[in-house]
A and B are shown apart, each in its own frame.
Chain A
């Protein structure tokens, strides 16, 4: 069979005989990319206003919508806790908002089990808008209308960035599911 077609016994994720997915990659890649996204405040961008989108949340939502069931429902607690360590928000706001985002996405999924990308983009955008608005309220800063005017560019950037992040997550998903482990 291999003489006729060398890829006969393989699929896009590699050979099927004698190979299996690596659990490290399968679960490691989503978690590590989300944690790296939460580390964006350590990038040398000293911004005068909130400009950079909440990368941790965007990557989390991208993975959640791409592979339902991969990120467990309780993941909001550890991921939010890590985000809180660097984001500058009061401790606990990330835990609360990440958990809430995951629960909301889960409820959306029960309501609309079959979705296309546009629906995913719409639901992600709504999550980002709510997250940024509530995060501004919970930030502990004295709120003025200016605060909400200032987060508008950030919200727009987050929404526009989602398709790109979703594509990157889809690319990483192929690496994630590579059959690299030898069996037997």
Chain B
């Protein structure tokens, strides 16, 4: 490509000034960018309004894409289903027979559970979902792991609400716009969730790693009791996430915990549930203090 004439100012004073002004403007732009960057690194929520507005505008296109993705995948799954229909059918029937038995057992357990809870005077902590929405995109080219959700404050979503899928926890709402919001995925390195082992009360923190897995850091250091295949669920400590939501499975143990894979892979999640912020313990604490004050 031939060099543009604009670069050959020669002795033309006007061209020289124009060239110089171009560099000054571009340099000023970069400088403003650097200042904005420092501001947003110090307080990340500063430009929330601007970003939410932009996402709200672009969200309809993203949502159409998300619907297309779901339909496209089910279309290919339907074709793939014809290949091994016979053996799959037989396998499914066998599984259904087992599942029926399990279902009855589970029903019995549920009744027993209810009875025991009744004895203990516990109220059933069923949470009503705030809304059901789609993940319409993610920051797939940045090292931050954020996803875009197709619901916002108009649907009752506010900052901090946990986002789950039927397979487990996905993340929490970081910035809620009016029709869309940004979700901090569990795998973001800024995300930290208090978890415990599903089978017992080994408590830990699940931290996001850059490559899509989680780092489980045990709170009580000592001999590492973790084994590959251990499932971790949210512990509910500190509020925000309600206890008992599946989070991750250990795939590798390290000195102070392990590396875990997400159970609810956001890439395979079409529809997610936004849950209200869980404040069980906080509420109990407040009630206790109120009772104490009344007693005083």
Contacts and interface: CB of A to CB of B under 8 A. Distances in A.
Contacts of A115: 1
B258 to A, nearest CB: 15
B4 to A, nearest CB: 4
B156 to A, nearest CB: 23
Interface string A48-91: 11111111000000000111110011101100101011111111
Contacts of A80: 29, 33
A8 B26 CA distance: 44
Interface in B17-67: 22-23, 25-27, 29-30, 32-41, 44, 46-47, 50-51, 54-55, 58-59, 61-62, 65-66
Interface string B47-90: 10011001100110110011011000000000000000000000
Contact of B144 (A39, A77, A139, A154): A139
Nearest to A158: B141
Interface stretch (B208-216, B245-253, B280-288): B208-216
Nearest to B188: A141
Contact of B210 (A45, A110, A140, A146): A146
Nearest to A115: B1
Interface stretch (B99-107, B236-244, B265-273): B265-273
A41 B33 contact: no
A46 B144 contact: no
Nearest to A113: B3
B136 interface: yes
Interface in B126-166: 135-148
Contacts of A106: 26
A147 B40 CA distance: 21
A85 B59 CA distance: 13
22 contacts: A40-B141, A42-B136, A43-B137, A43-B140, A44-B65, A46-B140, A47-B138, A51-B141, A68-B7, A74-B22, A77-B26, A77-B33, A87-B139, A91-B39, A92-B35, A99-B26, A103-B23, A106-B26, A113-B7, A140-B41, A140-B144, A141-B190
Given A41-B138, A86-B58, A89-B142, 18 more contacts: A41-B137, A41-B141, A44-B65, A46-B266, A46-B267, A50-B140, A53-B141, A68-B7, A76-B29, A80-B33, A82-B54, A93-B33, A95-B30, A99-B26, A106-B26, A147-B143, A150-B210, A154-B141
